[in-house]
Amino acid sequence: MRGPACPVLFRPTRGSRGAGQLATGWLSDHTGRKPLIATGMLVQAAALGLLVAGDGAFTPSLAAAALLGVGTAMVYPTLIAAVSDATQPRDRARVVGVYRFWRDFGFVLGALIAGIGADATSPSTADPDRRLAHRRQRPARRRNLLAATRRVRKLVRLFAHATWLGSALLLSCSRRLLALVVGVSRRTESVRACLAARAAASLEGARDLGAAS
């Protein structure tokens, strides 16, 4: 599906997922992890099947998006909770980080496989004329990709320089602030010592006057 209807389909997915996670975490604590994980994956599979069967129509796609959010809400927090249950508290942060890294890597790998498979099975690659036109467009796409890569490199360099300058400026300001605080504290200590000495001298004078009288 193309056009302005595409952003609309993301809203029921995010909405049902965000609202569902408020209940699925509590539910998995009382009913167990495995039932929610298995049911959520089945719901996700049903949502994808409905999306394919809808053939790009708006209403089936909207229903599939909402159903996909419900399945993700059942699976997403429960898997993290299951990983946390299987680890010790001191190792929990590291193990959850490793799990999330490989899960997100699967997202990237799946997107690449889906993109390559879609290009290989699309009608434009099956038709010889369209295949020839597709090949002719490859150099332009490569040039655009190289240009985008160069822009990203420039942005990364600018960000690195800005970060370095900001860190240096922050370090300089923190040193000056520390020196100012130390100077103020030293002055305060000297003032306190002076006041204490004057108070002791006044007390000694008062005692001498009392003894003399």
Query: Is there a domain that residue 32 lies in?
Result: yes
3-state secondary structure of 208: helix
Q: Exposed, middle or buried, 17 (CB in 10 Å: 0-12/13-18/19+)?
A: buried
Which pair of tokens denotes residue 164? Answer: 């370095």
Q: Is the dihedral of CA 152, 153, 157, 160 positive or negative?
A: positive
SS (H, E, C) 128-175: HHHHHHHHHCHHHHHHHHHHHHHHHHHHHHHHHHHHHHHHHHHHHHHH
pTM score: 0.53
- Of 86, 108, 136, which residue constitutes the final position of a domain? 86
pLDDT tens per residue across span 40-75: 999 999 998 998 888 778 888 888 889 999 999 999
Q: What's the rounded Cα separation, in Å, for the pair 72 and 187?
A: 62
Rg (CA), the chain: 34
Indicate whether 199 belongs to any domain.
yes
In the predicted structure, residue 134 carries a pLDDT above the cut 70: no
Residue where a domain terminates, one of 71, 86, 101: 86
> Could you read off the pLDDT of 83-127 as tens digits, one per residue?
888 888 888 888 888 888 888 888 888 888 887 777 776 655 545
| Domain ranges, residue 28 | 1-86
- Say how far apart CA 73 and CA 22 lie, in whole Å: 9
Residue 60: alpha-carbon gap to chain centroid: 30
Structure tokens that stand for 202 in this block: 């006044």
Question: CB under 8 Å to 58, separation ≥6 — which residues?
Answer: 1, 5
Residues in the chain: 213
The token pair that represents 80 in the structure block: 């993290």
Q: Where a domain ends, among 42, 61, 86?
A: 86
Q: How many domains does the chain contain in total? A: 2
